Chain A
Amino acid sequence: AQSVTQLGSHVSVSEGALVLLRCNYSSSVPPYLFWYVQYPNQGLQLLLKYTTGATLVKGINGFEAEFKKSETSFHLTKPSAHMSDAAEYFCAVTLYSGYSTLTFGKGTMLLVSP
């Protein structure tokens, strides 16, 4: 069975500072990895995904993540935080293309101060 651990339920940064949200996974097979963002009273929006190929993936709104198999990590970064980035972020894993069960981490709330 797969699992996801997100370190830090809350992360606070200043506007313009680097954003780093941590995600570690465990999976018995090479995983497919996702980051989703959730704004208040809304559903989940896909930020980026890793399936196969390039291990550094770029997503929307300037976010990127790097798949590191040796560290079983898929950390999310953004060079410069914006106030509009304040939201909850979820890392998720699934086993393979076509398999629909997503296993989510507990989420990290990103707080951005002016």
Chain B
Amino acid sequence: KAGVTQTPRYLIKTRGQQVTLSCSPISGHRSVSWYQQTPGQGLQFLFEYFSETQRNKGNFPGRFSGRQFSNSRSEMNVSTLELGDSALYLCASKADGGETQYFGPGTRLLVL
């Protein structure tokens, strides 16, 4: 099976812009989670989607949002970008009832 894929791999944006990141889970996985990784805060959970519904949400401002499509692909959006949003954004998928999350390669976002 193909692994989790994320596009784009790299992005450069300026403050105030918005950005959309995409994630395609492993085939058959309906759960998609997003994490933010920064040198200062480490890996932090953003949100999880399951069957097009947000099932869980981390402690991030409302500028961070996401959605999931009927084919389980997910997108996350960050509006009004701030310098502190520069990070590696990781997507992970999980099988129904499973305990293991499988991660994609990430999208590295640089905000100037």
Complex interface: chain A residues within 8 A of B42 (CB): 104-107
Are B105 and A43 in contact, with the CB atoms below 8 A? Answer: yes
Q: Does B66 contact A (CB under 8 A)?
A: no
A100–B48 CB distance below 8 A = yes
Interface residues of B: mostly helix, strand, loop or mixed?
strand
A-B contact pairs, 29 of them (CB 8 A): A42-B106, A43-B4, A43-B90, A43-B103, A43-B105, A43-B106, A44-B92, A45-B103, A46-B100, A46-B102, A49-B100, A51-B99, A90-B43, A92-B43, A97-B98, A98-B97, A98-B98, A100-B31, A100-B50, A100-B55, A100-B56, A100-B94, A100-B101, A101-B45, A101-B58, A102-B33, A102-B43, A103-B45, A104-B42
Please report A residues at the B interface, Cβ cutoff 8 Å.
32, 34, 36, 41-46, 49, 51, 90, 92, 94, 96-98, 100-107
